């Protein structure tokens, strides 16, 4: 019986050691905190920009002179000189751009700085019917911005670089051909 109780106590101690982990608690959710950990980034970017510009300049300058002379009772022919320039420019332009991006991407912690901030990088390739779309993401996350479910919004990433690139038949049909590119380069 003593042997049986010793085995149960030993087994209980071993089990308790497995459950006890120095890096996590039984009462907290797992959050990324070290190199190699993964974090889910919810990309929700809305942007809009517009600019209107108008320029109206005018410049005018004139130089003129005239003179007359006489010799005794005879008058000499009189002469005059007039130079003038006129320059006017009117220009206007406007630009407007709006965009919206929604995606969910996993990123990996590649570095932890001296303040505990996490540098993350991630990419995702989506290919549908020969159309490839690549999403690349990198930036720095504060551990306090990571939610309990190990997600972070892209708006909370500092120095964020979010790149969407596409390639395939649709992309090729939307870009000018090589002959058009040559003519644009020459002219």
Evaluate the CA torsion angle 112, 115, 118, 119 in order and state its sign: negative
Closest to 127 measured CA to CA, from 119, 135, 117: 135
3-state helix, strand, coil in the chain (%, to 5): 20, 55, 25
Sequence spans of domains, the chain: 28-51+97-177, 52-94
CB atoms within 10 A of CB 56: 9
Tell me: the pLDDT tens digits for 32-80?
Answer: 888 989 999 998 887 788 887 777 777 777 666 666 666 666 666 666 6
SS (H, E, C) 75-123: ECCCEEEEEEEEEEEEEEEEEEEEEEEEEEEEEEEEEECCCCCEEEEEE
Render pLDDT for 87-112 as a digit per residue (tens, 0 to 9). 677 777 777 778 787 889 999 999 99
Nearest to 114 by CA among 95, 90, 89, 140: 140
Quick: pLDDT tens for 121-144: 999 988 888 788 888 999 999 999
How far apart are the C-alpha atoms of 31 and 19, rounded to whole Å? 18
Structure-model confidence comparison of residues 32 and 3, the more confident one = 32
Total length of the chain = 187
pTM of the model: 0.53
Sheet holding 158-167, edge to edge: 151-153, 38-67, 79-112, 118-128, 131-141, 158-167
Q: Could you report the per-residue pLDDT of 138-163, keeping only the tens digit for each?
A: 999 999 999 989 999 999 999 999 88
Residue 18, pLDDT > 50, answer: no
Residue 6: CB atoms within 10 Å: 10
Other beta carbons within 10 angstroms of residue 114's beta carbon come to 5
Angle at 129 between CA 126 and CA 133, to 5 degrees: 25
Q: CA 170, CA 167: separation in Å to the nearest integer?
A: 7
Q: Is the dihedral of CA 150, 153, 159, 162 positive or negative?
A: positive
């Amino acid at each position: 019986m003593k042997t049986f109780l010793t085995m149960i106590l030993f087994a209980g101690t071993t089990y308790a050691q497995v459950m006890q982990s120095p890096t996590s608690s039984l009462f907290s959710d797992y959050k990324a905190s070290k190199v190699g950990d993964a974090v889910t980034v919810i990309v929700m970017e809305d942007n809009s920009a517009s600019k209107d510009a108008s320029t109206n300049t005018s410049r005018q300058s004139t130089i003129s002179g005239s003179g007359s002379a006489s010799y005794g009772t005879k008058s000499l022919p009189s002469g005059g000189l007039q130079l003038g320039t006129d320059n006017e420019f009117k220009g206007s332009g406007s630009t407007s751009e709006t965009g919206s991006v929604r995606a969910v991407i996993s990123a990996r912690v590649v570095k932890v700085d001296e303040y505990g901030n996490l540098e993350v990088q991630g990419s995702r390739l989506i290919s549908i019917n020969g159309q490839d779309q690549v999403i690349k993401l990198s930036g720095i996350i504060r551990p306090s911005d990571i939610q309990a479910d190990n997600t972070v919004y892209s708006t909370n990433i500092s120095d964020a670089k979010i790149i969407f690139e596409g390639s395939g038949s649709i992309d090729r049909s939307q870009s000018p051909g090589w002959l058009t590119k040559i003519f644009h380069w020459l002219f």
